[in-house]
């Protein structure tokens, strides 16, 4: 079934993504993929790296004449910053042959609290965290967004669409539920501030980011992904790893700096009585389908989609690279030291929402193909339409 992987380092020559298992005949547009990459780079609070990189996807296999052909798809995204790191991170040329030029190697021996620097250095037995942070960096998510765009190309053929928005940046929070239509409309913006549907709230969010800029700090927040048009029946209750809520949670928490996930209105529901939480069930005889009185469950019941909008929120901690570094310890001397500073962002909430869209799309595409299969888009459509007839006649 559908599988995907990424490879590459933050300052390596390129990032690579592969996706296997898509049926033949899915239309794929490079312009659409590149637009998703552009969206990932936007938002107030991004760092200097975004001024260097001009992310463009190169599809090198699996797509011909703008359609998938059933074979593995490989996408390459070049790192423009590589030219500044070619001497520091060569594929060959052992360290001992680098004339002892410490400045060329750009080692990182003062791990950053909250980053993978120290845990990775311990695990892989490195006295230099450079090799750890190069892969742990969120630069890797560029590749995820590229293959997520391909997964979206499959889903949209079946009426499934995704969009994201910022619910909170620091203490500034949107105090209402956003409708699918207003969240989807944001994708047409040519300028992205902080990705909030409400202008007044977005300005308060900007004020929080400005405060972080002034003090050399960083700030996190909360984003929401909405998947619209998802049919009932994706996922399963039968085994723990088939439950779609668990798979979505893992996918979103796998994004760098995301430390929590909420499906539907989980936090609010946990503080309420059951009578106020469960979505009542109704039946529309004219449309011949079941409906709900609300969507507090976020489109999932028993690990299975119920036909309502899928609501997934991610809780993003502040970026761990601070211009005002925190206390740390040198990996070589074991002496107290201030943490290393790598060029970084102050706030990435809008970008994290775009990355989460990609991850949700990939998980939904997996679940969709598990249920409907098909080696070609036409075969998948026949299976899907047969299922819709079954659902209507239930």
Please write down the HEC assignment for all residues of 214-225. Answer: HHCCCCCEEEEE
Domain 3-392 in CATH 3.60.150.10? The answer is yes
What's the pLDDT score for residue 103? 59
What's the pLDDT score for residue 222? 98
Cβ contacts of residue 376 below 8 Å, gap of 6+? 23, 24, 25, 70
- 171 has pLDDT over 60: yes
Instruction: Kindly state the percentage of the chain with pLDDT values over 90.
Output: 86
Cβ contacts of residue 77 below 8 Å, gap of 6+? 8, 14, 15, 16, 17, 37, 55, 56, 57, 58, 142, 143, 146
387 versus 101: the higher-pLDDT residue is 387
- 343 has pLDDT over 80: no
pLDDT-based confidence at residue 335 (cuts at 50, 70, 90): very high
* Structure letter (DSSP) for residue 349: H
Per-residue pLDDT reduced to its tens digit, 74-124: 999 999 989 888 888 888 877 766 665 555 668 899 999 999 999 999 999
pLDDT-based confidence at residue 51 (cuts at 50, 70, 90): confident
Per-residue pLDDT reduced to its tens digit, 118-141: 999 999 999 999 999 999 999 999
* Structure letter (DSSP) for residue 80: G
What's the pLDDT score for residue 98? 63
Dihedral sign for Cα atoms in the order 176, 181, 186, 187: positive
Instruction: Kindly state the percentage of the chain with pLDDT values over 70.
Output: 97
What's the whole-number mean pLDDT along residues 6-35?
97
284 versus 48: the higher-pLDDT residue is 284
What is the C-alpha to C-alpha distance for residues 146 and 363, in angstroms, rounded to an integer? 14
What's the pLDDT score for residue 48? 76
Q: What is the largest CA-CA distance in the chain?
A: 79
Range with the lowest mean pLDDT among 39-48, 66-75, 231-240, 355-364?
39-48
What's the pLDDT score for residue 104? 65
Residue-by-residue DSSP string for 276-314: HHS--EEEETTTTEEEES--TT-SEETTEE-SSPEEEEE
Mean pLDDT estimate for the chain: 94
Cβ contacts of residue 322 below 8 Å, gap of 6+? 112, 216, 217, 218, 339, 341
Structure tokens at 390: 């079954």
Listed by start position, the domains of the chain span 3-392
Range with the lowest mean pLDDT among 4-18, 74-88, 193-207, 208-222?
74-88
Cβ contacts of residue 14 below 8 Å, gap of 6+? 8, 76, 77, 78, 79, 82
What's the whole-number mean pLDDT along residues 139-160?
98
Of the candidates 22, 23, 18, the residue with the CA atom closest to the CA atom of residue 4: 18
* Angstrom distances, CA of residue 256 to CA of 259, 292, 326, 352: 8, 35, 20, 9
Residue 286 CA neighbour count, 13 Å, CB half: 0
Of the candidates 141, 137, 143, the residue with the CA atom closest to the CA atom of residue 89: 137
What's the pLDDT score for residue 97? 66
What is the C-alpha to C-alpha distance for residues 279 and 232, in angstroms, rounded to an integer? 15
- 288 has pLDDT over 90: no
* Structure letter (DSSP) for residue 27: B
Range with the lowest mean pLDDT among 101-115, 207-221, 351-365, 366-380?
101-115
Of the candidates 151, 146, 182, the residue with the CA atom closest to the CA atom of residue 164: 182
């Amino acid at each position: 079934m559908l599988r995907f992987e990424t490879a590459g380092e933050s300052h390596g020559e390129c990032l690579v993504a592969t996706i296997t298992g898509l049926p033949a005949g899915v239309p794929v547009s490079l312009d659409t993929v590149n637009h998703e990459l552009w969206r990932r780079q936007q938002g107030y609070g991004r760092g200097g790296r975004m001024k260097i990189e001009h992310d463009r996807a190169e599809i090198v296999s699996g797509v011909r004449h703008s359609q998938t052909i059933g074979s593995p798809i490989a996408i390459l995204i070049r790192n423009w910053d590589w030219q500044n790191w070619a001497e520091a991170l060569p594929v060959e040329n052992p360290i001992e042959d680098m004339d002892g030029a410490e400045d060329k190697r750009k080692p990182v021996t003062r791990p950053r609290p909250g980053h993978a620097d120290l845990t990775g250095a311990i695990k892989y037995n490195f006295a230099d965290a450079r090799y750890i942070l190069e892969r742990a960096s969120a630069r890797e998510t560029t590749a995820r967004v590229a293959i997520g765009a391909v997964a979206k190309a499959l889903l949209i053929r079946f009426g499934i669409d995704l969009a994201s928005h910022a619910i909170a940046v620091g203490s500034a929070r949107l105090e209402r539920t956003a409708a699918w239509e207003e969240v989807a409309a944001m994708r047409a913006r040519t300028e992205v501030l902080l990705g909030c549907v409400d202008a007044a709230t977005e300005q308060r969010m900007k004020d929080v980011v400005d405060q972080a800029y002034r003090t050399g700090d960083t700030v996190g927040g909360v984003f929401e992904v909405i998947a619209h048009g998802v049919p009932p029946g994706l996922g399963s209750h039968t085994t723990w790893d088939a439950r779609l809520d668990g798979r979505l949670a893992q996918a979103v928490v796998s994004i760098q700096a995301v430390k929590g996930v909420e499906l539907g209105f989980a936090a609010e529901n946990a503080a309420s009585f059951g009578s106020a939480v469960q979505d009542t069930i109704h039946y529309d005889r004219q449309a011949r389908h079941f409906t709900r009185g609300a969507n507090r469950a976020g489109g999932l019941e028993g690990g299975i989609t119920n036909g309502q909008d899928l609501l997934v929120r991610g809780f993003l901690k502040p970026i761990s690279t601070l211009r005002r570094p925190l206390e740390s310890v040198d990996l070589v001397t074991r002496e107290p030291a201030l943490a290393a500073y790598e060029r970084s962002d102050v706030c990435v909430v809008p970008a994290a929402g775009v990355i989460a869209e990609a991850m949700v799309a990939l998980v939904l595409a997996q679940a969709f193909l598990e249920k409907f299969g098909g080696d070609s888009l036409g075969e998948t459509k026949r299976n899907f339409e047969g299922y819709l007839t079954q659902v209507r006649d239930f």
